[in-house]
A and B are shown apart, each in its own frame.
Chain A
Amino acid sequence: DAMVIQNPRYQVTQFGKPVTLSCSQTLNHNVMYWYQQKSSQAPKLLFHYYDKDFNNEADTPDNFQSRRPNTSFCFLDIRSPGLGDAAMYLCATSRDGRGEGYTFGSGTRLTVV
């Protein structure tokens, strides 16, 4: 089945230690998104790629970066995680970002110790 896969499901990292979360898709969708979701809150968009074009949200901290080496994979890098970065990170894909809705991965729950 075509899907969006996020690894790992759970990630524990130390305060200040760089961490990378990964997302892959078999849907061949043009657009890939990274959302941050804190407990009982709506997902907050960090950035997205439309093909190779990177689009950063204005309020996304510089501590967060992303890479999309090819259509299938997208990575979220947190350079120096703080306690406030503990959250669920959701990857989503869309064919055109508009009409068909988004397909979400299962998420990676990040804990910072």
Chain B
Amino acid sequence: AQTVTQSQPEMSVQEAETVTLSCTYDTSENNYYLFWYKQPPSRQMILVIRQEAYKQQNATENRFSVNFQKAAKSFSLKISDSQLGDTAMYFCAYPAGGSNYKLTFGKGTLLTVNP
């Protein structure tokens, strides 16, 4: 079975500091994609960052970057210079599937940024 595991149910960080959220996954595929989504309280789920497995270079989007370790099947999210607006549930996700790909989510990490 293809699974996504987030081992940190909750985390907190002080404003302007750096925090890393962990994610591991299990797949038998060689070429695939990984995503981090952000869901602020009572607000829309939005895509934060995307990684293509065949690319060795870690993806970066402004203050958000990933540490992708394909052999270890690890995909962590680093948030630099944390802002109050980063407070949200963060989901690691992987489009598992055969002929029809379906986004499978980890259980999520609730990140609180403290002033």
Contacts and interface: CB of A to CB of B under 8 A. Distances in A.
A33 interface: yes
A90 B45 CA distance: 9
B107 interface: yes
Contact of B102 (A33, A103, A105): A33
Q: Tell me which of B33, B47, B101 has the highest count of chain A C-beta atoms within 10 A of its own C-beta.
A: B101
B64 to A, nearest CB: 14
A41 B108 CA distance: 7
Interface of A (DSSP majority class): loop
A98 B46 contact: no
A97 B97 contact: yes
Nearest to B107: A42
B108 A42 contact: yes
A86 interface: no
B75 interface: no
A30 B46 CA distance: 19
Contacts of A94: 101, 103
Nearest to A106: B44
Given A99-B33, A101-B35, A48 B102 contact: yes
Interface string A26-61: 000000010000001111010010100001000000
Interface residues of A, number: 24
Contact of B33 (A42, A98, A103): A98
A36 to B, nearest CB: 12
Contacts of B89: 40
A42 B105 contact: yes
A102 interface: yes
A98 B101 contact: yes
A94 B52 CA distance: 16
Interface string A86-113: 0000101010111111111111000000
Contact of B101 (A42, A43, A97, A104): A97
Interface of A: 33, 40-43, 45, 48, 50, 55, 90, 92, 94, 96-107
Given A43-B45, A90-B45, A97-B100, 12 more contacts: A33-B103, A42-B106, A43-B91, A43-B105, A45-B103, A48-B102, A50-B100, A55-B100, A101-B35, A103-B47, A106-B43, A107-B44
